[in-house]
Structure 1
Amino acid sequence: MPEPSSSYPSVAPVGVDITRASIARVYDAALNGKDNFDIDRAVLDQVRTVAPGVAELAWANRDFLIRVSRFLARETGIDQYLDLGSGLPTAENTHQVVQRINPDSAVVYVDNDPMVLAHARALLAGHPNTDIGEADIFRPLEVMKNHEVREGIDFSRPLALFQIGTLHHYLGEDADTLMRTYIDALPSGSYVAIAHFYDPELPEYSELARAMEDKFVHSPMGSGRFRTRAQIQSLFGDLSMIEPGLVLCDNWWPDGPRLRTLSAVRHCILGGVGMKR
């Protein structure tokens, strides 16, 4: 018997402003999801004028998240995950990947988008070891004090912290300081995973990266910064990088041999995982 409609969030939950683009809904649109509005799709349309394959940024980011989650669950013994800026639920969320390998893994998502919170709470209701907290991920102390985070994550034991597809929406010049606050709060043996829009500083890709940045920043979303390798590497602080280090997201332990050449867009997003000794 189908569940009553009251079990599900409405198309536009209370508090959702459909006149402004949402980072989470733009990503959802790029992944061919259904939880987005005209204003969100307009952001992608704007970027497509300079990069027709812009949605590949979202797919590269998503695939990286899945592979990192699988690696950490299988190889490191990590059994608690703090996923910052989790976005709208889609196929193969962090908890689904890691709990398939270790059902006892604890996962806490953090977001402050009303639509993300409504959908996630409906999806996760009654789900063991999994929760979502409402906080601004660019305010680390707010995140650390969040009730769901404190209840779901034991900061006396190693954990994995994800900033996957999030920090390029932070436009401040102190992103490395922001990340240092998070890293300082982690116990030894913890891991940090980051994926970030990337300016390769090469003639064949840099112009594309900066053109996409310009469209993102001047779109209804208002963010989407393409940092250089050095700038992205600095976000890891003094963490020990897991091989192969900071690389194109598609090159971080791909699932098999590559039979197709990466598109130019896929050369514009980097990912890596670092460990705190």
Structure 2
Amino acid sequence: MEAADRPRIDASVAHSARVHDYWLGGKDNFAVDRAAGDAVQAAYPGIVQSVRANRAFLARAVRFLAAEAGITQFLDIGTGIPAANNTHEVAQSVAPGARVVYVDYDPVVLQHARALLTSGPRGTVDYIDADLRDTEKIVREAARTLDFGQPVAIMLIAVMHLIVDADDPYGIVGQLKDAMLPGSYLALSQVASDIEPERMAEAARQYNQRARETQRHRTHAEVARFFDGLELLEPGVVVVPQWRPQSTAEAEAHSGMWGGVGRRMRARAAG
């Protein structure tokens, strides 16, 4: 969907980015977002801790990619409203010249991104107004800032559960993986359907009744499938607090999300 065809800020229906902002204690949300957030929390009381654990996973994954894997290019799709430890902040704290492209389609997100997500003096930050489903546009416009002839990290953090089966989620991720040179990485997290399944199913039902998007939670096996063709880094696809935690408290944080990081070892075979 082109930007001109999408509605502008709509305060009459909840939106994922603004609901997450509410759960994280932000102020960039409307009454409908807070109502949706409260309904989900009533069904799944651990949602706030889960969202915070996911943000911590994002920071650990980016820090690993920049500090240990030597990645200096990041494509963060489904950015959300800026919070603490945004991708460029973590990456540029390690690699000051890192280049980061953020992608989202919500006008509230884009307004705040352009105002708040500013690069360090040696790095670069850019923004693309696009839907994850439009992978061709994302890769084409990201190439203005990122060199896809060099390794890139693609970040799909807490966004794939907003892509329903009819939109071909594995095809979308496959197209993004096809744009990755060997030595590139995919970091992905997704709301689980098989962690506290009854509560999570009710949480999804409450959200779907109130929000613009429809949530599709997935099992561990379904999330692991997103990494097909990649080398999964240890410890594999795990509950996000257990992906290379930096403390016992971090490892034991409550979460209802699976996550992992994979590395492209070779180009996909033709045909």
- The normalised TM-score by structure 2 is 0.89
Structure-2 residue corresponding to 1:5: none
Relative to structure 2, which stretch is displaced further, 125-134 or 84-93?
125-134
How far is the alpha carbon of 1:75 from its aligned partner? Answer: 0.3
Give runs of aligned pairs for residues 147-226 of structure 1, distance below 5 A: 149-173=142-166, 174-200=168-194, 205-226=196-217
Residue number in structure 1 paired with 2:257 = 269
**What does 1:79-98 align with in structure 2 at a 5 Å threshold?**
79-98=72-91
Partner deviation per Cα, 1:145-190 (whole Å, 9 max, x = no partner): 22xx121110000010000010001112421111111101110000
TM-fit CA distance, 1:225: 2.0
Which of residues 129, 135, 139 in structure 2 aligns to 1:134?
Answer: 129
User: Does 1:69 find its partner at 2:57?
Assistant: no
Corresponding letter in the other structure for 2:11: I
1:239-273 CA-partner distances (Å, limit 9, x unpaired): 1000000000010011112389554xx1x211100
One-letter amino acid matched to 2:50 = L
What residue number does 1:119 align with? 112
Q: 2 CA distance for matches of 1:20 and 1:258?
A: 36
Unaligned runs of 5+ in 1: 1-13
Alpha-carbon distance in 2 for matches of 1:260, 1:93: 20
Distance 2:200 2:100 in 1: 33
Residue aligned with 1:250, SS: helix
Please report the RMSD computed on the Cα atoms of aligned residues, expressed in angstroms.
1.8
Q: Say if 1:193 and 1:63 are closer, same or farther in 2 by CA, change over 3 A.
A: same
Q: Output one character per residue of 1:40-76: Cα deviation in whole Å (capped at 9) or x when no partner.
A: 1111111122122322221121111011011111100
Percent of counterpart pairs with the same letter? 36
Aligned match of 2:231 in 235, 240, 248?
240
Q: Is the 8 A contact 1:46 1:219 kept in 2?
A: no
Q: Within 2, Cα distance between the matches of 1:166 and 1:68?
A: 16
CA spacing shift, 1:126–1:250, aligned 2, 3 Å: closer
* Structure-1-length-normalised TM-score: 0.87
* Matching residue within 53, 61, 84 for 1:60: 53
Distance (whole Å) between structure 1 residues aligned to residue 219 and residue 140 of structure 2: 32
Matched, 1:44 2:20: no
Is contact 2:193–2:219 with CA below 8 Å preserved after alignment? yes
Distance 1:63 1:220 in 2: 25
- 8 Å CA contact 1:70–1:97 kept in 2: the answer is yes
Q: Structure 1: which amino acid aligns with 2:57? A: F
From the superposition, tell whether residues 259 and 35 of structure 1 become closer, same or farther in structure 2 (CA, over 3 Å).
closer
The answer to whether structure 1 residue 231 and structure 2 residue 222 are counterparts is: yes
